[in-house]
Amino acid sequence: MQSPYLLANARLAEIRRNNEQTLDDRKAEVGRLCPEYKSVEAQLAACGLALTRCVLNGASGVAEIKAAADAAQAEKKNILKKLNLPSDYLDTIYTCSKCRDTGFDEHGHRCECLKRLASEYISLNSNMTALMRKQTFENFDFSVFENQPDIKGRPVAGVAKRAFDISLNFADNFGDGTSRNLYFYGSAGLGKTYLSSCIANRVLARGFSVYYQSAFSLADMMEKLKFGRYDEDERERAEYTAKYVYDVDLLIIDDVGTEFVTAYSSAVMYDIINSRLNNEKSTIISSNLSPSGINDIYGERMTSRISGIYTPVALIGRDLRSRSFNKK
């Protein structure tokens, strides 16, 4: 796993090379069709060099050089016209006119084209499955919660609607400067992972980084790193992923409490959650355990970091895994 922005910059470099090659091919084409073109290009190059020397040396003759360059440019356009080619056919090619394919605007800010390319790689780094990519707010089907009896006086559909609204608000306001964290809990098959995917897809679409992992896989990776159970290639990727877990804009840890908990894995899980809170990085946790149930497995330290800081989001009802949450 590599940095999305490093990959995006490499892609921009490839775009620049391709555009330069296209321009070279066009110049060669025009040269074949009109031999006079080469002398015009030579004249333009000579004017450019002479003008640079005049400016650097404070010499006279700038006006004459500019006049000669203008005449050469006019001749160049005449050649293109005779060949029925566009007047800008031999201009420098930019895929993005705003940043000229550098990735940064005139103020030094990341251009939208760079962000767009990075978002593609960010999505690839998210560790989300093809199925999860289809789980969106737009596809969420509330009908699966209908016709279920109330549970302890709580309407199942109403609880689901509250969870949906909290999730949508979280996703749409992500990155507004306020660190938010969610704790989805409830029995298996009630839509916890689905809602996490909805949030992830919306946040990814807005250009933020997301990483999804089950608690079991996360703990397993950290233990293998700690005790040297990776070969060299696997270790390099795992080390990057381990760092990414701390730095990613939104971390989603699924099925917390189902992993085999050791003293080391418990300490690692606490460190991840605590560090991200301290660094104001948002995290979503989903679990079959209620917030108070976390205490039985991870102890008071973990419970104290989650309670009062994470927004608890309950889901109730019967197991719906045999049905799709996606609209038909």
Instruction: Report the distance separating Cα 80 and Cα 88, nearest Å.
Output: 9
pLDDT of residue 251: 96
Q: Is 220 a domain residue?
A: yes
Q: Is 101 a domain residue?
A: no
Residue ranges making up the domain that contains 155: 126-314
E runs forming strands in the chain = 182-185, 210-214, 250-256, 282-287, 311-314
217: domain CATH number is: 3.40.50.300
Q: Is 92 a domain residue?
A: no
Q: Is 256 a domain residue?
A: yes
Q: What is the pLDDT along the chain (328 residues), one digit of tens a residue?
A: 566 778 889 999 999 999 999 999 999 999 999 999 999 999 999 999 988 888 888 877 888 999 999 999 999 999 999 999 999 999 999 999 999 999 999 999 889 898 888 877 777 778 888 889 899 999 988 888 887 877 777 888 899 999 999 999 999 999 887 768 999 999 888 899 999 999 999 998 887 889 999 999 998 888 888 888 877 778 877 887 888 899 889 999 999 987 777 888 888 889 999 999 999 999 999 999 887 788 888 888 888 888 878 999 999 888 776 555 556 5
Q: Is 138 a domain residue?
A: yes
Computed over its alpha carbons, how large is the radius of gyration of the chain? 29
Q: Please state the domain count of the chain.
A: 1
Q: Is 174 a domain residue?
A: yes
Burial of residue 35, with CB atoms counted within 10 A of its CB: 0-12 exposed, 13-18 middle, 19 or more buried: exposed
Closest CA to 160 of 8, 297, 315, 319: 315
Residues with Cβ within 8 Å of residue 21, at least 6 apart in sequence: none
